[in-house]
Amino acid sequence: MESAVGCEKECEMAKVLVHAREVISKMRHVGNFLVVSIIVVIFGFENSALAYLDPGTGSMVLQLLLGGIAGVVVILKLYWSRFVGLFRGHAREESEHSSSEDQK
Amino acid sequence: MGVVQPLPGSFRDPSGNVYRVEGRILRTVNECFAPDFDFVTSTGLFKNLAAEGLLLPFEVVSSEILKLSDPKPRYVLETPRLPFISFPYEWSFSALKAAALLHVRIHLQALEAGVTLSDASAYNMQFQGNQPVFIDHLSFRRYHSGEMWVGHRQFCEQFLNPLLLRALFGISHNAWYRGTQEGITTGEIRRLLKWRHYWKWNVVTHVVLQDLFQKTSTQGTKSFQDTSLATASFPLSSFKHMLKKLSTWLSQLTPLNTGESTWGDYDKTCSYSSMETTSKKQFILEFTQKVQPALVWDFGCNTGEYSETALEGGARYVVGFDFDQGALERSYHRAGERRLPFQALFMDAANPSPNQGWNGQERESLQARASADAVFALALVHHLAIARNIPLVQVVNWLIALAPQGVIEFVPKNDPMAQELLRLRQDIFPDYTVEHFIALLHEKAGIVKTETVSKSGRMLVWFKRR
């Protein structure tokens, strides 16, 4: 009995670990996507011509931040449902998903 | 004609220079800038802005007029001559704010046309009455996708920070601005901030963060020195959003401590009888109807009441000077409400704007900039001669040198206002009498008319320089 219970517990533990790994890997994907998107938003445009006026590094970094925030907002809007689903519905969806994965 | 020299204030931008030739204002467009100029012209932006009265119109004239060879300009533009050139350190809070808002409005309109502004100098703005107008056609160039607002730092220093100085701390920008000439740095404004200012998002971004980033990037502790910053991009949508938010914020800025003005309510609170005011107005009316001056300088203009009378009499443009912020604000709004060709500037008559800037020539002094056709000094002489201890002879000679004709009001010692100035001090002015004043005037000018306008013996004198 004990061993059966222990096996069940181990199985549960393994499932949880698999779920956690899945979630982390998904989060990594989303995280990487965000980072890449921000970089694209910030640095991915055509080079600007240097002006005769020194814009000042403080002003430039501020604009990067303002531009970055706007970029993040757009990205968050686009991927909000997926992002929320990751936390909200993962227990049910992920268990179904992972059990089908386990059977493979 | 010898080689013409550009105006001393137009050396910063290699795209071109400004020249004044026989009273005409000419602006060159050099080869290096011609592609940008052609592009901006092709967008129709110049025409649209000029049609709205936001940009000074121009005509392309023959480049031979300047006989320049090195560099030979691609184009020479002629713009209408403005009645008076003023500088941001002479503007009132409302005037500076109007100029700031116009700058942002023009930039937004430019971006819609695929054009951006290469700088944000407040000296690129001038006033016609209380209406600001953009004067530098070479500030417009093609917008490159993703480029930053290169003029943001300059905009903060020359427009935003001087306005914040008054809006957050109740300190007018004029003296500070005149001292630095380039405005007020963001670091200086940040050092003045109190904790209560930190909850405002615009203050946090444009002042605190900008200064923080500036400092951390120049301390050498961060790797902001690499070239990635010079090639970094700023999305157009963010650029426009930043300008729109800034415009909303600017439009909401109002001076702090507006109740501190001494002269703003002068015409309401002082004991002038309506008879006295009517007599003074009648005198000014008669003077301007007869003289028809193109440019009048009204020293101690207060709320602009007599400046307006001068315009009614036929003066074409009046520049009023006062050092009271409340009076300047009321003058500014008077000009706006009645669409008067009248502009009120901050100026202490005992310390008028000097020649200054690079080589002492970049920004001209008041007298070097223009010459007035007539000068008014109404209820001013006693402030200079008694309150500021300037010898009466010097006050008289200074006024006569300003314009060939004018109206000076002499306020005798027994007048309540003169008594107020002497109340707590020794009377060291035995020569301050109407007889001595008239005798001094007679040395250099003829007297066309005099009139006593109050029971205390206030006298208006119409002088004509010999």
Average pLDDT value for residue range B142-171: 96
The whole-angstrom distance between A92's CA and the closest CA on chain B is 39
Residue partners of B464: CB distance under 8 A and separation at least 6? B404, B405, B445, B446, B447, B448
> How confident is the model at residue B215, as a pLDDT?
85
CA distances from B248 to B97, B104, B105, B208, B243 (A): 12, 10, 11, 19, 9
Distance, in Å, from the CA atom of B357 to the CA atom of B181, rounded to the nearest integer, reads 7
What does the alpha-carbon distance between residue B60 and residue B7 come to, in Å, rounded to a whole number? Answer: 19
Q: Nearest C-alpha of chain A: how many angstroms from B92?
A: 27
Q: Do A61 and B217 touch (CB under 8 A)?
A: yes
| CA pair distance B9, B370, nearest whole angstrom | 15
* CA–CA distance, B324 with B258 (Å, rounded to integer): 11
- Tokens 């909401």 locate to B252
Alpha-carbon span B209 to B215, nearest angstrom: 10
* Strand arrangement of the beta sheet that strand B459-465 belongs to: B342-346, B317-322, B295-299, B374-377, B405-410, B459-465, B445-452
Asked if A45 lies within 8 A of B12 by C-beta distance, the reply is no
Reported pTM: 0.83
CA of B148 vs chain A CAs: smallest distance (Å) = 7
Cα–Cα separations (whole angstroms), residue B401 to B290, B322, B371, B379: 21, 19, 10, 19
Residues of chain B neighbouring A48 (CB-CB closer than 8 A):
144, 146-148, 231, 233
B271 pLDDT above the threshold of 60: no
CA distance B48 to B36: 17
Which of B413, B460, B458 shows the shortest CA–CA distance to B432? Answer: B413
Measure in Å the smallest separation between the Cα of B202 and chain A Cα atoms: 11
Say whether A44 sits in a helix, a strand or coil.
coil
Q: Do A48 and B146 touch (CB under 8 A)?
A: yes
Residue type, A84: V
* Closest partner CB to A57 (pick from B150, B156, B218): B218
Residue A81 pLDDT exceeds 70: no
Distance CA B361, CA B357 (A): 6
Chain B residue numbers touching A43 (CB-CB < 8 A) = 228, 231-233
CB contact under 8 A, A62 and B238: no
Verify whether the Cβ–Cβ distance A49 to B144 is below 8 Å.
yes
Q: What is the dihedral of CA B428, B434, B435, B436, to 10 degrees?
A: 40
Spatial distance between the Cα atoms of B236 and B246, rounded to a whole number of angstroms:
15
Best A41, A64, A66 residue to mutate vs chain B (most B CBs within 10 Å): A66
Examine the pLDDT at B34 and tell me if it is beyond 90: yes
Q: For residue range A53-77, list pLDDT tens digits in order.
A: 778 888 887 888 788 765 455 445 5
What distance in Å separates residue B145's CA from the closest CA in chain A?
Answer: 6
Residues of chain B with C-beta less than 8 angstroms from the C-beta of A49? 144, 147
B205 close to A (CB below 8 A): yes
Residue B2: predicted pLDDT: 60
Q: With an 8 Å Cβ cutoff, is B238 touching chain A?
A: yes
What is the Cα–Cα distance from B65 to B61, expressed in whole angstroms? Answer: 8
A45/B241 CB distance under 8 A: no
How many CA atoms within 13 Å lie on the side-chain side of B435?
2
Q: Cα separations (Å) of A62 from B90, B235, B291? A: 30, 13, 56
- Residue B379: per-residue pLDDT: 94
Q: What is the 3-state secondary structure (H, E, C) of chain B?
A: CCCCCCCCCCCCCCCCCEEEECCEEEEEECHHHHHHHHHHHHHCHHHHHHHCCCECCCEEECHHHHCCCCCCCCEEEEECCCCCCCCHHHCCHHHHHHHHHHHHHHHHHHHHCCEEECCCCHHHEEEECCEEEECCHHHEEECCCCCCCCCHHHHHHHHHHHHHHHHHHCCCCHHHHHHHCCCCCHHHHHHHCCHHHHHCHHHHHHHHHHHHHHHHHHCCCCCCCCCCCCCCCCCHHHHHHHHHHHHHHHHHCCCCCHHHCCCCCHHHHCCCCHHHHHHHHHHHHHHHHHHCCCEEEEECCCCCHHHHHHHHHCCCEEEEEECCHHHHHHHHHHHHHCCCCEEEEECECCECCCCECHHHCCECCHHHHCCCCEEEECCCHHHHHHHCCCCHHHHHHHHHHHCCEEEEEECCCCCHHHHHHHCCCCCCCCCCCHHHHHHHHHHHEEEEEEEECCCCCCEEEEEEEC
Confidence of residue A39 (pLDDT cuts 50, 70, 90): very low
Mean predicted confidence (pLDDT) in B2-12:
79
Split at pLDDT 50, 70, 90, the class of A20 is low
What pLDDT score was predicted for residue A8? 58
Mind telling me how many Å the CA of B149 is from chain A's nearest CA? Answer: 8
CB contact under 8 A, A59 and B156: yes
Residue A99 pLDDT greater than 60, yes or no: no
Does residue B270 carry a pLDDT above 80? no
* Beta pairing partners, B125: B134
Q: State residue A59's pLDDT score.
A: 87
Which residues 6+ apart lie within 8 Å of A53 measured at CB?
A: B118, B119, B150, B151, B154
Q: Are the beta carbons of B81 and B19 closer than 8 angstroms? A: no
What pLDDT is stored for residue A74 in this prediction?
41
Residues of A in contact with B153 (CB under 8 A): 54-56, 58-59
Interface confidence, given as ipTM, is 0.79
Mean pLDDT (chain B, rounded): 92
DSSP A47: P
The verdict on a CB contact (< 8 Å) between B231 and A43 is yes
Q: Report which of residues B87 and B7 the model is more confident about.
A: B87
User: Counting Cβ atoms within 10 Å, is residue A26 exposed (0-12), middle (13-18) or buried (19+)?
Assistant: middle
Q: Do B242 and A65 touch (CB under 8 A)?
A: no
Q: Cβ–Cβ of A48/B144 closer than 8 Å?
A: yes
pLDDT over threshold 50, residue B417: yes
Q: Please give the residue of chain B at the shortest CA–CA distance from A52.
A: B13
- The residues, ordered by sequence, that sit 6+ positions from B52 with a Cβ below 8 Å of its Cβ are none
